[in-house]
Amino acid sequence: MKQLIFLFSILISLNLSAQTDADNIKKIYSNSLTNGKSYEWLDHLSTQIGSRLSGSLGAERAVEYTKEELEKLGLDKVWLQPVMVPKWVRGAPEFAYIETSPGVTTPINICALGGSIATPNGGVKAHVIEVKSLAELATLGEAIIKGKIVFYNRPMQADLINTFEAYGGCVDQRYAGAMEAGKYGAVGVIVRSMNLRMDDFPHTGSMSYGDLPNSQRIPSAAISTNHAELLSGMLALDKKINVFFSQNCQQLKDVQSYNVIGEITGSEFPNEYIVVGGHLDSWDLGDGSHDDGAGVVQSMDVLRLLKESGIKPKRSIRVVLFMNEENGLRGGNKYAEVAKAKGENHIFALESDSGGFTPRGFSFDCNDAVFNKVMQWESLFKPYLIHYFEKGHGGADIGPLKNGTTVLAGLVPDSQRYFDYHHASNDTFDAVNKRELELGAATMTALVYLFDKYGIGTISNKEELKD
């Protein structure tokens, strides 16, 4: 009988606990949708401050602004974590055209890739070799490539459902295209924008020369998808056409910048840390509303929503707004380095860096035991149409925290529209929907709430008890 009562009381307490979780999560979503701050913060970050490339005035203003806003929330601590960042500047606008015969030109929309060198004064003009891959380039060799502009034109694969997979299948052209073409004596590189849509926006993004000597470094630019098709079509008619492009970008000396950090100190386990974050820097085109203004304001709102919903975290919850994800990852590396030096025990880190679209779920970088336990929370998310719980990538900025223990996760929003805006001048505030952004903030908060409440130590212990 005693055992029965014991069992009964356990069942009741389990049920009450589930009830409380469901209630608290409902409160979180409701607060975010009726009383969220994320959209207002994003409006300021995007519309008042604008683009935030590392080392730019916008980046520094974003540091100040988000620090001030976090201070208004009455967190236990807010501070700046110094980090030196690279400073690449675009300079005077790019200019490019196709020349079909002397003096007969058609302008094309290009933008310098981040990290690229400038063209020589007066630009570069040359015949064009179109290739679909780095492998195809290698088969052509120096005899054909030397003195030419290499045009990488492999499109993103449209029939992949996850557009990040399509991006992953193409981005080698952008990142390593100039490095490889430079080895064969090309004079410049034009890369089809990483965009699934046909439009007129060139999309920038990081590229690298690796260890290439300066003599082999060549300028590289992205071309809009519409103009990639145009150029390809014109080349099919006449291989002898020229492309001219001029760009004025340069890499300056590293400058001082900061990660912005706010913390609610845990009431029971203050030395267990949970991080939620996005990156404060953006590319210089557009205002970085989706990439990653959305992740920044959602992460800020996680701490506010916890407070607002009357939840007192047991563990220390930190929002970290990382600097320099786009062209260096210095902020992510710095945060992990300091955490390690201080011996801080990070149990969980969650990043939002896939756009402010309707959230679908999370990808988890963790072991099976933790993942199986997370899956037990799945039903708590069902009322909010959060259904995607898969193992996968956490996020670039939180990546350096990976140590075999810390659970990493990434918010997974609907990805269909993301590459319409990614790194382009149309990544602006009007492309973000308020409710979608707020649903994302609530979804992150709910997961942080569960990790805070149950920890990963508890999860592992339970798992062991069961075995």
Total of residues contacting its own copies (CB under 8 A): 26
Tell me the C-alpha distance between 384 and 436, whole Å.
12
Q: Is 325 a known active-site residue? A: yes
Per CB under 8 A, the segment of 123-131, 156-164, 369-377, 454-462 that binds its own copies is 156-164
What is the spatial order of strands in the sheet that 269-279 belongs to? 77-89, 250-264, 315-322, 269-279, 345-351, 407-413, 359-365, 388-391
Based on the shown chain and the rule CB under 8 A, indicate whether residue 200 belongs to the binding site for its own copies.
Answer: no
| Nearest in space to 300 (alpha carbons), one of 30, 32, 52 | 32
Based on the shown chain and the rule CB under 8 A, indicate whether residue 158 belongs to the binding site for its own copies.
Answer: yes
Q: Between 3 and 34, whose beta carbon lies closer to its own copies? A: 34
Residue of 2, 3, 5, 34 interacting with its own copies (CB under 8 A) = 34
- Nearest distance, CB of residue 46 and its own copies, angstroms: 17
Based on the shown chain and the rule CB under 8 A, indicate whether residue 294 belongs to the binding site for its own copies.
Answer: no
Residue pair 61/49 in contact by the 8 Å Cβ criterion: yes
Q: Between 100 and 226, whose beta carbon lies closer to its own copies? A: 226
| Nearest in space to 360 (alpha carbons), one of 421, 428, 322, 413 | 413
Based on the shown chain and the rule CB under 8 A, indicate whether residue 439 belongs to the binding site for its own copies.
Answer: yes
Dihedral angle of Cα 215, 110, 419, 163, to the nearest 10 degrees: -50
- What are the C-alpha distances in Å from 254 to residues 55, 80, 110, 116, 328? 8, 18, 26, 16, 11
Residue of 146, 385, 391, 461 interacting with its own copies (CB under 8 A) = 385
Based on the shown chain and the rule CB under 8 A, indicate whether residue 197 belongs to the binding site for its own copies.
Answer: yes
Rg, C-alpha atoms of the chain: 24
Q: Between 43 and 172, whose beta carbon lies closer to its own copies? A: 43
Based on the shown chain and the rule CB under 8 A, indicate whether residue 444 belongs to the binding site for its own copies.
Answer: no
Question: Which is catalytic among the residues 60, 94, 308, 325?
Answer: 325
- Nearest distance, CB of residue 442 and its own copies, angstroms: 10
Tell me the C-alpha distance between 265 and 116, whole Å.
43
Give, as one character, the DSSP assignment of residue 206: B
Based on the shown chain and the rule CB under 8 A, indicate whether residue 388 belongs to the binding site for its own copies.
Answer: yes
Based on the shown chain and the rule CB under 8 A, indicate whether residue 203 belongs to the binding site for its own copies.
Answer: no
Q: Between 240 and 435, whose beta carbon lies closer to its own copies? A: 435
Q: What's the distance, CA 103 to chain centroid?
A: 42
- Nearest distance, CB of residue 452 and its own copies, angstroms: 23
| Nearest in space to 260 (alpha carbons), one of 11, 79, 2, 10 | 79
216, amino acid identity = Q
Which residues between 354 and 373 bind its own copies (CB under 8 A)?
358, 360
- Nearest distance, CB of residue 198 and its own copies, angstroms: 9
- Nearest distance, CB of residue 175 and its own copies, angstroms: 24
Based on the shown chain and the rule CB under 8 A, indicate whether residue 43 belongs to the binding site for its own copies.
Answer: no
- Nearest distance, CB of residue 324 and its own copies, angstroms: 31
Letters for 396-435 (x = contact with its own copies by CB under 8 A, - = none) are: ------------------x-xx--x------------xxx
Angle made by CA atoms 261, 262, 265, in degrees to the nearest 5:
130
Based on the shown chain and the rule CB under 8 A, indicate whether residue 393 belongs to the binding site for its own copies.
Answer: no
- Nearest distance, CB of residue 353 and its own copies, angstroms: 19
Residue of 436, 453, 460, 462 interacting with its own copies (CB under 8 A) = 436
Two tokens, residue 76: 């236990």
| Nearest in space to 226 (alpha carbons), one of 175, 192, 177, 189 | 192
261-288 as b/e: b if 16+ CB within 10 A: bbbbebeebeebbbbbbbbbbbbbbbbb
What SS3 state is found at 156?
coil
Q: Between 36 and 182, whose beta carbon lies closer to its own copies? A: 36
Strand partners, 411: 362
Based on the shown chain and the rule CB under 8 A, indicate whether residue 384 belongs to the binding site for its own copies.
Answer: yes
- Nearest distance, CB of residue 385 and its own copies, angstroms: 6
Name the site residues for its own copies (rule: CB under 8 A). Answer: 29-30, 33-34, 158-159, 161, 163, 196-197, 358, 360, 383-385, 387-388, 414, 416-417, 420, 433-436, 439
Catalytic residues: 325
